[in-house]
A and B are shown apart, each in its own frame.
Chain A
Amino acid sequence: MIQISSVEKRQQKKLVILWSITFLILFPLLVTLGLLMRLNQGEWMRMSPGTFYALMTLHGLGMAGSLFSIALAAISYLIATRYARLNIGVGYFSYVSVVLGVLGLAIASLYAKFGAGWYLLYPLPFTGANWPAWSTGLTIISIIVLGIGLLINCLHVLYALAKEYGGITRIAGWQYFKKDPPEKELPSVVMISTISLVPAVLAFLAASVMLIMYLLKYFEPSLAFDPLLLKNLTFFFGHTLVNVTMYIGVGWLYTLLPEFTHRDWKITKVTAIAWNATFFFILFAYFHHLYMDFVQPLPLQYAGQLASYFSAIPATAVTMFGVIVQLYHSKIKWTIVPLMFLLGTAGWAIGGFAAVVDSTISINKVLHNTLWVPAHFHTYMLMGILLFILAFFYYLVGAKEDPGKDQKPKLGFWLFVIGSYSFLLMFYLGGLNSVPRRYSDYGGIPLKNVHETGAHLAQAASVSICLLLLGLMLMYVTLFTKLLRSSRPAAQNETVL
């Protein structure tokens, strides 16, 4: 077992607290952009379509990027303080890259109104744009800067783990495939990090190819590329990254929940097989984004539905039953950390179930690009990974070491949960009523009931967002104070993991 000095642990803690505070500042700002969009769709405020789509672009890129970044920072911290030595310089390089990238994206969208959507679907950034050309260039370069920082961080974590545990196949848990269990146990978080970060690296590589093509097009507008190829690259990158964010969070669920239940959660042959199968499902499920591209080769359409359906097996039969083993008759004290883990797992399951329904080709043909899509991914992002992240923050500020510091869930938490589910319900009802996504407003829709239903649901969603923001702010009051306090040297001696 690796020995990590208290000095190294303190350095890592300082870094993760910097990440945490940055995320906690950024997140409600990005939620507020969502609120403004829903207010506009609800016809309670008026903004131009150009402003709406610029906010939509920043909201999407900001949320996907910041959630992945904080998930990576959290898992890196757990690894660096327990399982493998990570270079602190790489951590800060990643942080600075992400901050610079986010700054560039904010300038491009808020100042120049760059609004091609988070996915910059080719050739939209270059065709019929109402934003200045330089903002397209700035966006591409910002994503490259941000991506390089995150890619290097992912590669560094994988390298450090492989070095510590004897190679890439061992950190992927292949030694558990044999009949007899291995002599040296592999921590579950190491295997889950590997299964998550390898697809993340592949996603960043796909994004690199895409962004290089975009840069070439930016500097030489006469160039033309295959839109179907670029659509595949775009969704491979976007879908994989969002999926991986969730799975990284599951990594610290396996590590931290047992500390509250006092029941170990070790890798077995079944879990190793399940997680390695998940690796392939993560890579192939993205095809379900292209079901409505009928020219996509048919085997790839089948692969999309098969991978999406079969991903439910390891997720539920292994991880969710694992949570049940942890909690059933455990006499656990329901403080905020384990409760967030339980509700986060539930949010993942509910959003995942709606996603699997939408991944059925014959259903997708009437749900694709309606509000059903943001409904399901907001469910597992907001009520899944975000709860895992908040649980990690509460753990970080010493909830485990000193039960006195671990709060029982209070008003803020419940307001946040109720507001969030109410907000999500409006998206689901919108999808059920065929309300399109990515519409600046519904006033132009000639179908009265789609227009009115969309607007009324957006109004209800706006109220719900206010509720969830209020809950979040109430939680922030204590969380911020504790994070700042735990970053002080004296506190670090006590609470370094």
Chain B
Amino acid sequence: MSQLIVLLTVQGYAAIISLAGAILVIAVVLFLLRTSTTQEDKLAVKKKVYKIRGRYFFALVTCIIILLLVTLQLLPYPKFQSEPGEVVTVVGMQWMWKMAPGTSIETPAAFTGNNEITLPANKAIRFIVTSGDVNHDFAIYDNNGVLVAQTQAMPQYHNELQYVFPQKGDYEILCLEYCGLAHAIMLGKIHVQ
């Protein structure tokens, strides 16, 4: 069931698009293998292929422009974020997450927080994320195991990630930037009510 759910996510769309691309490439390879058994003058071949190439070029440029216009409206950056309902400060340290409500003025080392936090559903939550040592990546997984949002936790910088939890339940925090020995067990949890 979870495999099917995955297909309806952004990851699923990416996989479907990539699969379509791979099938197209394989089709071209098979076509070339099949048609290469006969011979035709190179100039005639060039004329035919370049005619298709001209159309391909315009189709590709059009697709790229449309995709850029659409996808560049859907960015996760602060400029594209609405007013948050709540703010949470997050500090990543080898190898734990510290989270607490509000904006902290303390240094990452002095900041006190917990690796679990309770937050409301259907409300824009802004996570202000930093690190007390090396680079980490604050990644939120829903209870189906689907990665839904992430941002880097970088020393000396604060990345602001905004996310609306669409349903109640437990969300897991994993670290997605390699940060040393216990990287794979740097965990946190968000209880959404």
Q: Which A residues contact B (CB, under 8 angstroms)?
A: 49-50, 53, 115, 117, 121, 123-124, 127-130, 226-228, 231, 263, 292-295, 298, 301-302, 305-306, 309-310, 312-313, 316-317, 321, 323-325, 327-332, 334, 342-343, 346, 349-350, 353-354, 357-358, 360-363, 365-370, 372, 428, 431-434, 436-442, 444-450, 453
Residues on B with C-beta less than 8 A from A117 are 178
Considering the chains assembled together, what is the distance between the CA atoms of A357 and B39 in angstroms? 37
Give B155's nearest chain A residue, CB to CB: A227
- Count of CB-CB pairs between chains A and B under 8 Å: 255
Kindly identify which residue among A127, A302, A305 contacts B134, using a CB–CB cutoff of 8 Å.
Answer: A127
Are B64 and A312 touching (Cβ within 8 A)?
A: yes
When A49-B181, A121-B178 are in contact, do A294 and B151 touch as well, CB less than 8 Å? yes
A309 CB contacts on chain B under 8 angstroms? 64, 67-68
Query: For chain B, which range describes its interface: under 10, 10 to 19, 20 to 34, or 35 or more residues?
Result: 35 or more
The 6 closest A-B pairs by CB, nearest first: A329-B40, A353-B21, A444-B185, A331-B39, A434-B147, A362-B74
Residues of A within 8 A of B149 (CB): 365-366
B109 at interface by CB-CB < 8 Å: no
Q: Is the CB of B151 within 8 A of A49?
A: no
**Which residues of the partner chain A approach B187 to less than 8 Å between Cβ atoms?**
444, 446
Question: A358 touches which one: B14, B48, B185 (CB < 8 A)?
Answer: B14
CB distance from A285 to the nearest CB of B (A): 14
Docked-complex contact B135 and A121, CB < 8 angstroms: yes
Q: Which of B83-91, B100-108, B138-146 contacts A (4 or more CB under 8 A)?
A: B138-146
> Is the beta-carbon distance between A369 and B177 smaller than 8 angstroms?
yes
Residue-wise interface mask of B (27-67) relative to A, using a CB-CB cutoff of 8 A (1 in contact, 0 not) = 01100110111111010011011101100110011001001
Say whether, besides A361-B72, A444-B187, A298 and B77 are in contact (CB < 8 Å). yes
Measured CA separation A438–B182 after assembly (Å):
11
Q: Is the CB of A227 within 8 A of B150?
A: no
Considering the chains assembled together, what is the distance between the CA atoms of A437 and B184 in angstroms? 9
- Point out which of B50, B72, B147, B161 has the most chain A C-beta atoms below 10 A from its C-beta: B147
Cα–Cα distance between A328 and B56 once the two chains are bound (Å): 17
B35 touches A440 (CB 8 A): no
Decide yes or no: A228 and B72 within 8 Å by CB, A313-B60, A349-B25 being known contacts: no
With contacts A361-B76, A370-B176 taken as known, whether A227 is within 8 angstroms of B157 at the C-beta atoms is yes
Is the Cβ of B14 less than 8 Å from the Cβ of A294? no
Q: Report Cα–Cα, A123/B157, bound state, in Å.
A: 14
B189: A residues at CB distance < 8 A: 446
B176 & A353 in contact (Cβ 8 Å cutoff)? no
Q: Are A298 and B25 in contact (CB under 8 A)?
A: no
